[in-house]
Amino acid sequence: MPDYAILQRGDRRLHQPARALNWPIPNPAQETVNAPAPAPERQLQSLIDDLIALTLQHQGVGIAAPQVGLDQRLMIVASRPNGRYPDAPLMEPTAMVNPRLLDRSDREVGGWEGCLSVPEQRGWVRRADQIQVEYWDRWGDRQQTRLSGFIARIFQHELDHLDGILFPERLAAGEKLLLEVEFLQCLSRTD
């Protein structure tokens, strides 16, 4: 895996909207049995694997390509219980290329969010509880699905990264960031 550095809050690149990817890549050779994938497709597959590994290595539940300095509308949603998110539901890591939010419920719920680009801090953010989304998967197939709860929160958080928004910008007026260590101590007291 290449040595990707996760960009930190204050880096201007995190505030730039990302470019859409040309995906899926048309490949007339795919009709030929055992035809090799085109180089851009192999590069994207490798990047997806790297981002999934990076997310798991840092105990995240998602990551967006702009967080490693790449101007691409690509994100990973990879919820699983870990030291930073002990109550996260378990799901298979999912790559989402050119994701879009199609619809959202009127009902918003608050929840604590953290971010690999805003290290060691948490903030209380209100987000739609249920959303309808569309994206291209890593194999070039268009997907539409409804997400809810924590998975919907991850999707919206990562989509914000693709639009150049960090979660502290979503805090309600008067809300402050909490140190992650304090947040985790509060969690352990409520268990």
Q: What is the pLDDT of residue 31?
A: 55
Q: What percent of the chain has pLDDT over 70?
A: 92
Q: What is the pLDDT of residue 33?
A: 54
Catalytic residue among 41, 158, 180, 182: 158
146 contacts 129 by C-beta, under 8 angstroms: no
Q: Which fold has domain 12-190?
A: Peptide Deformylase (3.90.45)
Q: Give the confidence band of 191 by pLDDT, cuts at 50, 70, 90.
A: low
Q: What is the pLDDT of residues 140-154, one digit of tens each?
A: 999 999 999 999 999
Q: Is 175 a catalytic residue?
A: no
Q: Give the confidence band of 1 by pLDDT, cuts at 50, 70, 90.
A: low
Nearest alpha carbon to residue 60 among 138, 10, 4: 4
Whether 162 shows a pLDDT value over 80: the answer reads: yes
Give backbone dihedrals phi and psi of 99, rounded to 5 degrees, phi first.
-70, 150
Whether 27 shows a pLDDT value over 80: the answer reads: no
